[in-house]
């Protein structure tokens, strides 16, 4: 694949912009047998094997990924929207190549797999692979999602049991029961709970606690499937999902 096509596919701008970066000497490529010193490339039409290619653009190292699979530790006070209404967008936390990766549809760049409220923190997946987004978002997948919940009032045993058996979310067009598949009392007072869901209804955790006469004061998603949010990934930081991460999510990369 031509170098300018590789840069274009990775979100570094139009083909003309990518060719300009190369011609200005702003692109270097790590050759297969030399992972220390990248070689400057001045010709946009130079051919490379894209798979496993490492390159440097304007001083920043990148790896080639046919599809992008990203994990973000979402901070509070951000919206999962390209056009936020009140708070900054989560997409401003990502480098521009992730936001500009070309797609066949009108949508550009990586997209969030589902959404978290502006005040909810924790694990958020993003990708430009439509099939991955669909599989991870599909209610048929029943992928467990674990939330660390801080309630306004301690929940008693009856309230916890109601959450496990299922509560009716009254404002649904067709009210159905929503249930937690597991609840762990994290502090012995039932004020801090670890709650596992396999559904993804709008504001589900908040609405479930409201249905038993309580209120969510803090909400943090710590796990999806068998993939745990890394402790060394600070709020606002992101990293690529590794093959072993995708395996924990029980999905295959495109």
Q: How far, in Å, are 12, 21, 124, 183, 225 from residue 58 at the CA level?
A: 11, 8, 28, 48, 37
Kindly give the confidence (pLDDT) of every residue in the chain, 254 residues in length, as a single tens digit, with 9 standing for 90 and above. 999 999 999 999 999 999 999 999 999 999 876 667 889 998 999 999 999 899 999 999 999 999 999 999 999 999 999 998 999 999 999 999 999 999 887 778 999 999 999 999 999 999 999 999 988 887 777 789 999 999 999 888 888 899 999 898 877 666 667 888 888 875 556 788 999 998 878 889 999 999 999 999 999 999 999 999 999 999 999 999 999 999 999 765 55
Please tell me the predicted confidence (pLDDT) of residue 174. Answer: 67
* pTM attached to this predicted model: 0.90
Give the architecture-level CATH label for domain 3-63: Roll (3.10)
Per CATH, 69-140+230-248 and 144-224 having the same topology is answered yes
Active-site residue, from 61, 63, 117, 232: 117
Q: Where are the domains of the chain?
A: 3-63, 69-140+230-248, 144-224
Give the architecture-level CATH label for domain 144-224: 2-Layer Sandwich (3.30)
Q: In the chain, how long is the greatest CA-to-CA distance? A: 70
CATH number of 69-140+230-248: 3.30.70.580
Instruction: For residue 61, indicate whether it is catalytic.
Output: no
Backbone region of residue 168 per phi and psi (left: phi > 0; alpha: psi in -120 to 50; beta: other values): beta
């Amino acid at each position: 694949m031509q170098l300018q096509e590789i840069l274009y596919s990775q979100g570094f701008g139009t083909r003309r912009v990518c060719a300009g970066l190369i011609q200005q000497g702003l692109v270097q490529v790590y050759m297969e047998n030399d992972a220390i010193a990248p070689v400057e490339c001045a010709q946009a039409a130079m051919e490379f094997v894209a798979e496993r290619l490492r390159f440097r653009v304007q001083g920043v190292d990148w790896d080639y990924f046919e599809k992008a699979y990203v994990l973000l530790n979402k901070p509070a006070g951000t919206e999962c929207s390209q056009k936020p209404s009140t708070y900054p967008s989560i997409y401003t936390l990502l480098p521009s190549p992730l936001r500009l990766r070309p797609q066949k549809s009108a949508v550009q760049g990586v997209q969030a797999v589902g959404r978290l409220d502006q005040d909810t923190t924790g694990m958020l997946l993003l990708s430009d692979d439509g099939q991955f987004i669909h599989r991870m978002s599909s209610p048929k997948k029943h992928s467990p999602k674990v939330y660390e919940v801080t309630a306004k009032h301690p929940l008693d045993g009856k309230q916890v049991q109601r959450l496990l058996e299922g509560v009716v979310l009254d404002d649904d067009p067709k009210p159905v029961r929503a249930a937690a598949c597991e609840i762990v009392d994290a502090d012995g007072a039932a004020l801090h709970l670890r709650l596992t869901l396999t559904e993804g209804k709008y504001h589900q955790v908040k609405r479930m606690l409201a249905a038993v006469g309580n209120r969510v004061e803090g909400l943090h998603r710590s796990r999806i499937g068998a993939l745990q949010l890394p402790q060394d990934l600070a709020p606002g930081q992101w990293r690529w999902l590794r093959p072993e991460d995708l395996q924990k999510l029980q999905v295959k990369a495109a």
